[in-house]
Structure 1
Amino acid sequence: MAALEAQGGEDCARFVGGCVRNALLGQPVDDIDIATRLTPEHTIAALRAAGLKAVPTGVEHGTVTAVSGGRPFEITTLRRDVETDGRRAVVAFTTDWAEDAARRDFGLNALYADASGRLHDPTGQGLADLLARRVVFVGDARIRIREDYLRILRFFRFHAWYGHGALDSEGLAACRDGREGLRRLSAERVSKELLKLLAAPDPRPAVAAMSEAGVLAEVLPEAVKPALFDALVDLTTDPVLRLSALLPSDPQIVDAVARRLRLSNAQRERLVAAAGEIAPTLEPTVARAFIYRLGQEAFGDRLTRGRAARPDVEASALIRLAEDWTPPRLPVGGHDLARLGVEPGPRTGRLLKAFEDEWIAADFPADGHQERLSRLAASEP
């Protein structure tokens, strides 16, 4: 901030958005964004003059990333929208704080603070909204949404994280009316916003409102009745597992959803593996077999879903087993069959599979492997 003010004078730069919002709420601050009257070129010059690293991460939109003490600070020139298409905007730079605030999504995100800590609220509604825990669009909600349809999902996401009580009626109506615009957005933007929403401490009221407004059906038409989701929220904060509870227990459908949302391979594989429920009443021997075949993560996910489906059943013993038991490695291999005279080939695979099935059914005994393998080899031509 000192570097920017040395170039542009007093009040040429202010902290803005989430860092101001969270500081006022006493919540952790992750990213620090700064708005400035300086153009990107002057911002870069100011940073370099102060010996700070300047990275032109988005100069066409006015953004320069400063690096100080190994930490990034995103600095953006004040802007006003010239043209929007529901996904991106053509902007022009300005020196007017009110113009910059007017293009932001919600009042609680249009708060600024200067280097001394003095708060600025150009819209006149941001601080009141924040203190009342209201998520309200800046200006006309329908116009804000038409500028970028992702703001529909952001409306529900910010309510899940910062809102309290009923959702703003005007904003909710605008989201309902504009929901078809979500089809114009990239899958990556939609899935990122959806997972952020599901990571909120309690996303249930926001998800219920999304469903009632027809927004959930636009982004997740496969969504099932929320009973499992509602119960599972109390058991985990993991957004991927919470997403799984909104989907049917059909691996093919889940796989198709994950691919449509362009989730990462790891997220997709986890969702598919979690498509099912493990009963909390499962016997330990059967549970160990499931853990071995599914893997610990998938077993834990299915067990969590099973606990959500049957919240009245005590599951502490099974939880400990899932956390503490490490599946052993298969104690035999092709070399053991070769010593018995079995030629490498399809028969080797069949015998190892038969051995593994028996070994699992016997609850993973630590000895007797060669005898069991010899018997299997002798019984199959």
Structure 2
Amino acid sequence: MEALEAAGGADCARFVGGCVRNSLMGQSVDDIDIATRLQPSATMAALKARGLRAIPTGVDHGTVTAVAGGRPFEITTLRRDVETDGRRAVVAFTEDWAEDAARRDFRLNALYAGAAGCVFDPTGGGLSDAAQGRIIFVGDPEARIREDYLRILRFFRFFAWYGTGAPDAAGLAACERLSAGVERLSAERVSKELLKLLSACDPTPAVRAMAQAGVLARLTGGEADLSVFETLARLTPDPLLRLSVLLPDAEAAAVAARLRLSNAQRDRLLAAVDPAGDVSPTMTEPAARAALYRLGRQAFEDRLLKAAARSRADPEPLLAPMRAWTPPRLPVGGRDLAVRGVSPGPQTGRLLSAFEESWIADDFPDAGHEARLDALVAAISAGPTETR
């Protein structure tokens, strides 16, 4: 801030957005953004003059990243929108703080603070919104949404993280009227915003509002059982698992592809689907160990938590011992068969599979492996009895 003010004078730079909002609301601050009247070239020159690293990360849109103490700070020139198409904007630089505030999404995100701590509220409603947990668009909600349809999802995401009471009626109505706009957004932007929303401590009120506005169905491809979602949200903070219960099982692969989730995220969503309903909070511990061994820990726990949410059962009596149990390695291998005269080939695989199934069925005993393997080899060597 000192470097910028040395180049542009007092009040040429202010902290802006989330860092100001979160400071006022008593929440942790992750990223620190700065707005300035300086043009990007002047910003870079000012930083370099003070020995600070300056990276031109988005100079066309006015953004320079300063690095101080190994930490990045995004510094963006004040802007006003010239043209928007619902996904991106053409901007022009300005020196007017009110013009910069007018292009932002919500009033509590259009708060600025000087280096000395003085807070500026150009919209006139940001401070009260932050104090009362209100998510209210800057100006006309429909106009803000038409500038960037991602603001529909941001409305619900910020409500999940910072809102209290009911969502703003005008904002909710605008999101409902323009809900089709989310289908114009890139999959990456949608999935990032959706997973951020689902990471909130209690996203249920926001998800219910999304469903009410018709936004949720456009993202998930069907109607979700929100009572199951609410139960699961209390059981786990995991956003991907929370997402999984909003999707019809048959649509999990299609939605993962539509949202362009990573391969790991897609595979986890699909593995969490339990078509036969074999994993349940009421299953015995031996059956649970067998399922965990076959499925892997992540898929087992995901299926168990989903089943618990659907049945309104407590998963902890089964979850705790399973988390304390380490699946053992298969105690025999091809060498053990070779010393018994079994040549490498398909027969080896069949014998090992038969051993494994028998060992799992007996709940993974620690001993008796030699006798079990001998019996299997003897049974196969004897072959079928011939009858006339």
TM-score band w.r.t. shorter chain: over 0.9
The aligned amino acid for 2:265 is Q
1:340-351 correspondence to structure 2 within 5 Å:
340-351=340-351
Which of the numbers 231, 254, 266 marks the counterpart of 1:256? 254
The aligned amino acid for 2:255 is V
The aligned amino acid for 2:176 is R
Separation (CA, whole Å) in 1 of partners of 2:254 and 2:310: 24
Task: Give a deviation string over 1:317-343, Cα, whole Å, max 9, x none.
Answer: 312112110000111112222222222
Q: Secondary structure at the match of 1:234?
A: helix
Separation (CA, whole Å) in 1 of partners of 2:193 and 2:201: 15
Q: Which moved more, 1:241-250 or 1:156-165?
A: 241-250
Q: Secondary structure at the match of 1:233?
A: helix
1:1-381 correspondence to structure 2 within 5 Å:
1-250=1-250, 253-276=251-274, 278-311=279-312, 313-380=313-380
Separation (CA, whole Å) in 1 of partners of 2:314 and 2:198: 26
What is the TM-score when the length of structure 2 is the normalising length?
Answer: 0.94
Separation (CA, whole Å) in 2 of partners of 1:34 and 1:371: 72
> How much does 1:369 deviate?
1.6
Q: Which moved more, 1:131-140 or 1:268-277?
A: 268-277
> How much does 1:223 deviate?
4.2
The aligned amino acid for 1:65 is T
Task: Give a deviation string over 1:123-159, Cα, whole Å, max 9, x none.
Answer: 1111122222111110111111111000000001111
Identify if the C-alpha distance between structure 1 residues 314 and 227 changes in structure 2 by more than 3 Å, giving closer, same or farther: closer
The aligned amino acid for 2:306 is R
Identify if the C-alpha distance between structure 1 residues 314 and 193 changes in structure 2 by more than 3 Å, giving closer, same or farther: closer
Overall identity of the aligned pairs, in %? 66
Query: Does the 8 Å contact 2:221/2:255 carry over to 1?
Result: no
**Unaligned 5+ residue runs, structure 2?**
382-388
Task: Give a deviation string over 1:174-212, Cα, whole Å, max 9, x none.
Answer: 111111111111111001111111111111111111111
Identify if the C-alpha distance between structure 1 residues 223 and 339 changes in structure 2 by more than 3 Å, giving closer, same or farther: farther
Q: Which moved more, 1:97-106 or 1:269-278?
A: 269-278
> How much does 1:314 deviate?
4.7
What is the TM-score when the length of structure 1 is the normalising length?
Answer: 0.96
Separation (CA, whole Å) in 2 of partners of 1:315 and 1:190: 31
The aligned amino acid for 1:123 is T
Identify if the C-alpha distance between structure 1 residues 379 and 242 changes in structure 2 by more than 3 Å, giving closer, same or farther: same
Separation (CA, whole Å) in 1 of partners of 2:305 and 2:322: 11
Q: Could you say what the CA RMSD is over the residues aligned between the two structures, in angstroms?
A: 1.4
Query: Does the 8 Å contact 2:221/2:247 carry over to 1?
Result: no
> How much does 1:219 deviate?
1.2
Separation (CA, whole Å) in 1 of partners of 2:17 and 2:315: 43
Q: Secondary structure at the match of 1:43?
A: helix
Total equivalences in the alignment: 378
**Unaligned 5+ residue runs, structure 1?**
none
Q: Which moved more, 1:122-131 or 1:68-77?
A: 122-131
Separation (CA, whole Å) in 2 of partners of 1:371 and 1:45: 79
Separation (CA, whole Å) in 1 of partners of 2:342 and 2:292: 30
Separation (CA, whole Å) in 1 of partners of 2:221 and 2:263: 21
Separation (CA, whole Å) in 2 of partners of 1:352 and 1:247: 38
